Chain A
Amino acid sequence: MEILQSWLVAPFTYAFMVRALAVSVLVGVMCPLLGTYVVTRDLGFMSDALAHSVMPGVVAAVLVGLHPLWGAVPSAIVIALLLGWLVHSTGLSADTTIGILFAGLFALGVALLPLVRHVSLNLEDLLLGQVLGASQVDVMVTAILTAVVTAVLYGLHSRLLFVSFDPLGAKVAGLSATRLDYLFLMLLAVATVTALQAVGIILVISLLITPAAAALLVTRTFEHAMFLSAGFGVSATVVGLYASYHLNVASGPVMALVATAIFAVAYAVAAARR
């Protein structure tokens, strides 16, 4: 018993571990909540594409001496709007449009990278992030972001749901699907690139997609899935952080692996029920 206790407590005698826990639990709630919509609407690769597509903006920000986030957030919003506009005006699928923007903008970012060589900007640093390096500011920014995302999703829930599952019906009912789509994409974009800074791309994508997918497998209603996916998200981050401490492995990947394991179990449960 004593061993278990020290096993549970020891990691959090360090301030950086407490900050890491706070940030990852927050992201573990926020991403799966968004993720339930993301998975339902087949926007799974949106966040990965975004993380790469904001590169030119990041390079520009660093070039004029600003924090990368000042480049990442505005360009994420612009890209989200551009994406929505392209889908609506061309009739191409979201998937195709994401592919076009992702490749083009990421390539532009890589081509521009030599411009900022003197400040040693590493691609890996931008994409991998480091939950263990989360600062006080990261914790606060993530907390605010989580609150905003939760509030917006709660406030718009019924309309978002309507638009997501029955776009035509929503139109008939007089709901502007376009405006809601844009709003959701922007929310997703800002959440993705901000969380990215704190916890890295692997964890953001993993938490955005995997818990929601697992939850949708084992629940019957959308609301159940939202709650359960947030529960999965939090479990993945907490268990993952413990595991990563005791195995001394980088934390983001371990949390993502736990999320994957949860999905596997959910799949088994769903299969057993059939």
Chain B
Amino acid sequence: MTVPRSIFRLIPILLIVISSALAACVVAPVEAPVTGDGPAAESQPLRIVTSGSIVADWVHQIGGDHVEVSALVPPGGDMHMFQPGPQDVARVADADMVVMIGMGLEAGWLDQLFEQARADEAVVISLEEFIDPLPYLPMGGAGDAHGDEEEHEDDEDGHGHDEDADEHHEDAHGHDDDADEDHGHGHDEETDDDHGDHEDADGDHEDAHDHHEHGSEDPHFWFDPPRVRAAVTGLAQAMGAADPEHAAIYAERAASYGLELEELHSWIIEQVSVLSAEQRVLVTSHDSFQYFAHLYDFEVVGTIIPSLGTSAEIEAQALARLVDTIKDHGVNAIFTEALTDKLAASLAQETGVDIVVRLYTGSLGVPGSGAETYIDMMRHNVETMVQALSTQ
């Protein structure tokens, strides 16, 4: 097969195509690549990349100006739909530390990204190391999850952590009164006493990876402020280990943020106290409210999508059972994310439930949404839920 001379006539065409494409790209706004060769300040900020915006907010609360934090999945984005660009991957490659939720939340591509970061010797922190997770029970369909909550707690033989949600619960009540004046300053010592068991902070990455495969633990612990506090404390220690110069500052900021979280916890208790026991039932688009339900005495009677993912197909039978469950429980609100609006709407029509409310579940809200920080997000969610559920 020889190349005939005439083929060379085509080369100019090829060149035009390539150069015009290149030109198009040069003209397009070029974002400076995030590389570390800026002017050598006496202390470079710790570069931290997180999987999502909620974790990024925690890192920001702890690190302030001493860290440079960015989230891979932006506010309003869906982890399951995340398609990284090359510079996202580059950010992970350049990062000093990568922080993820763990427990299988960062599935697929994100997980692969973090594997690479691990190979690049970045410190990879999986927040699951710092909390005592609830088991994740796939709901075969609506109704399967009833009443199991009590057992969950006992089943937890844990990973050497003895955090206990109920303990926190009590704790929070105790601090109720002075929390307002205190937060944001000092007061680190008193809040730390039950977090002594987090020394193993970055010891068991392998372990953490194992959990992913099983997906047997529920990753949505951010609906549980006391657990968030434990995670933030552990995260601050890990950040301190990576940046010893500012370790004390991180610990201090984490402690005062811990007080804010405690305040949030008591605020939630107060907010939901207006709801009667019968009103405390949740139907959500996917199964992300177990922690919330467990902590604040709600019951998740059904989820529209049975698995953690947002892409599973829904079995007709499961949906039919969900309709029955909603009618049986007299549920008057369905909580959803943008993703499953269509299903939620048809479900609402089928069951006569006329309130479909959007909550922030997997990420913070976009600027201007009133849910730009974790605490604001939780306040927005709780207010929305209480309002919807108390409407009769």
Contacts and interface: CB of A to CB of B under 8 A. Distances in A.
Interface of A: 4, 7, 10-11, 13-17, 20, 110, 113-114, 117-120, 122-125, 128, 130, 132-133, 154, 157, 218-221, 223-224, 227-228, 231-232, 235, 239, 241-251, 253, 258, 261-262, 265-266, 269
Given A224-B6, A235-B18, A239-B18, A124 B81 contact: yes
A-B complex: 3 closest residue pairs judged by Cβ atoms: A248-B85, A250-B83, A248-B87
29 contacts: A11-B33, A16-B89, A16-B93, A20-B86, A113-B313, A118-B214, A119-B213, A119-B215, A120-B212, A120-B307, A120-B308, A122-B108, A124-B80, A124-B81, A125-B107, A125-B109, A132-B89, A133-B113, A154-B1, A227-B7, A232-B17, A235-B14, A235-B21, A243-B24, A246-B30, A249-B85, A258-B21, A261-B17, A262-B17
A267 to B, nearest CB: 12
A120 B31 contact: no
A235 B311 contact: no
B227 to A, nearest CB: 22
A244 B21 CA distance: 12
B22 interface: yes
- Residue of B35, B80, B85 with most partner-chain A CB within 10 A: B85
Nearest to B91: A248
B138 A118 contact: yes
Interface residues of B, number: 52
B85 A130 contact: no
A218 B33 CA distance: 39
Interface in B1-31: 1, 3-4, 6-7, 10, 13-14, 16-18, 20-22, 24-26, 28, 30-31
B104 interface: yes
Contacts of B109: 125, 130, 133
Contacts of B25: 239, 242-243, 246-247
Interface string B282-317: 000000000000000000000000011101110100
A240 to B, nearest CB: 8
Interface in B118-139: 138
B244 interface: no
Contact of B86 (A11, A219, A224, A231): A11
A111 B104 CA distance: 23
Nearest to B10: A228
Given A16-B90, A224-B6, A227-B7, 20 more contacts: A4-B26, A10-B35, A16-B116, A17-B90, A117-B138, A130-B112, A132-B84, A132-B89, A228-B10, A231-B14, A239-B21, A242-B22, A243-B21, A244-B86, A246-B25, A246-B28, A248-B31, A248-B86, A250-B85, A265-B16
B309 A120 contact: yes
B85 to A, nearest CB: 4
B68 interface: no
B324 interface: no
B315 A114 contact: yes
B88 interface: yes
Interface string B127-170: 00000000000100000000000000000000000000000000
Nearest to A154: B1
B352 to A, nearest CB: 29
- Residue of A223, A248, A249, A253 with most partner-chain B CB within 10 A: A248
A33 to B, nearest CB: 12
A245 B108 contact: no
B7 A125 contact: no
Contact of B311 (A11, A124, A249, A269): A124
A243 B81 CA distance: 22
B272 to A, nearest CB: 32
Contacts of B311: 122-124
A132 B108 CA distance: 13
B27 to A, nearest CB: 11
Contacts of B84: 130, 132, 250
B107 A269 contact: no
A125 B307 contact: no
Nearest to A239: B21
B10 A10 contact: no
B80 A122 contact: yes
A241 B21 CA distance: 11
B7 A228 contact: yes
B220 to A, nearest CB: 15
Nearest to A262: B17
- Residue of A17, A132, A235 with most partner-chain B CB within 10 A: A132
Contacts of B116: 16, 133
A247 B85 contact: yes
B324 to A, nearest CB: 20
B271 to A, nearest CB: 34
A244 to B, nearest CB: 6
Contacts of B93: 14-16
Contacts of B6: 220, 224
Given A117-B307, A246-B25, A7 B30 contact: yes
B137 to A, nearest CB: 11
A120 B6 CA distance: 53
A266 B20 CA distance: 13
- Residue of B17, B25, B28, B86 with most partner-chain A CB within 10 A: B86
Contacts of B309: 120, 122
